[in-house]
Amino acid sequence: MSREIRGPVVLPAQRTEITLETADGMTLVGELAVPLDADPVATLVTLHPLPTAGGNMDTHIIRKAAARLPAQAGLAVLRFNMRGTVSPRGRSEGSFDGGAAEQFDLAAAMGFVRERGLPRPWLLGWSFGTELALTYGRDHPVEGAILLSPPLHRATTADVSAWRGDRRELVVLVPEHDDYLRPAQARERFASVPHARLIAVDGGRHLWVGESQTRRVLTEIVAAVNPVALPLSTVWAD
């Protein structure tokens, strides 16, 4: 029996509820999803959109990455609620700090990756999460960062240009109709990082709503992290 991979479909994986302990004493709730019958080939450390606007570890692209990519692309997907954020998994301790104390949340996630021996970590930030990846990601042993709909509200020009000369990859997905930063503006804002790979997505919007946009985003993630897994299947045989 086969089923189409779309919407809320959850493919087979080993999924474990986890907690992260930050250096400033907060306990964060999350989940690790890994391939069912093989070791992961790479790891996505996900950073969700703005919690004060409803962002959390279940925001749909992050949830669908965890639901699909362990099976489709052999990836481990770590997702968690940043401080003060709530989702069906539960509430993380603390309160939103505008991107300052959230650096400890990212550090806790990377510590977990190190302790578990998860391979080839990449940061996957969406909206607010891209600000954390840009500002603090270079402090950690990641292979690169994938930025979905970066608003560049909190990340400064200096934060962006600091990636210049850094050998790690920077992949930037910018929707054509983004509410905050559109492709032409993004090219100017990332011009200081010549190796940044900016991908303008025709018809895309900040929230990547719809199956076609979901598939495009997940395809670009896998193209960066494990391209041999492409093309992603659209049907799953149980």
Q: Report pLDDT digits (tens) over 146-176.
A: 999 999 999 999 999 999 999 999 999 999 9
Q: What is the full DSSP assignment across 83-148?
A: TT-EETTEE-SS---TTSTHHHHHHHHHHHHHHHT--SEEEEEETHHHHHHHHHGGGS--SEEEEE
**pLDDT score at 238:** 82
Q: Report pLDDT digits (tens) over 92-126.
A: 999 999 999 999 999 999 999 999 999 999 999 99
Q: Report pLDDT digits (tens) over 85-95.
A: 999 999 999 99
**pLDDT score at 1:** 78
Judge whether 175 and 187 are in contact, CB under 8 Å. no
* Per-residue pLDDT at 189 exceeds 90: yes
Q: Report pLDDT digits (tens) over 30-77.
A: 999 999 999 999 999 999 999 999 999 999 999 999 999 999 999 999
Task: Give burial (CB, 10 Å; 0-12/13-18/19+) of 190.
Answer: buried
Which position has the token pair 């929230």? 207
Q: In what order do the strands lie in the sheet with 144-148?
A: 14-21, 27-34, 75-80, 42-47, 121-126, 144-148, 169-175, 197-201
Between the two ends of the chain, the Cα-to-Cα distance in Å is 6
Percent of residues in the chain assigned helix, strand, coil, to nearest 5: 30, 25, 45
**pLDDT score at 223:** 98
Per-residue confidence at 6, pLDDT binned at 50, 70, 90? very high
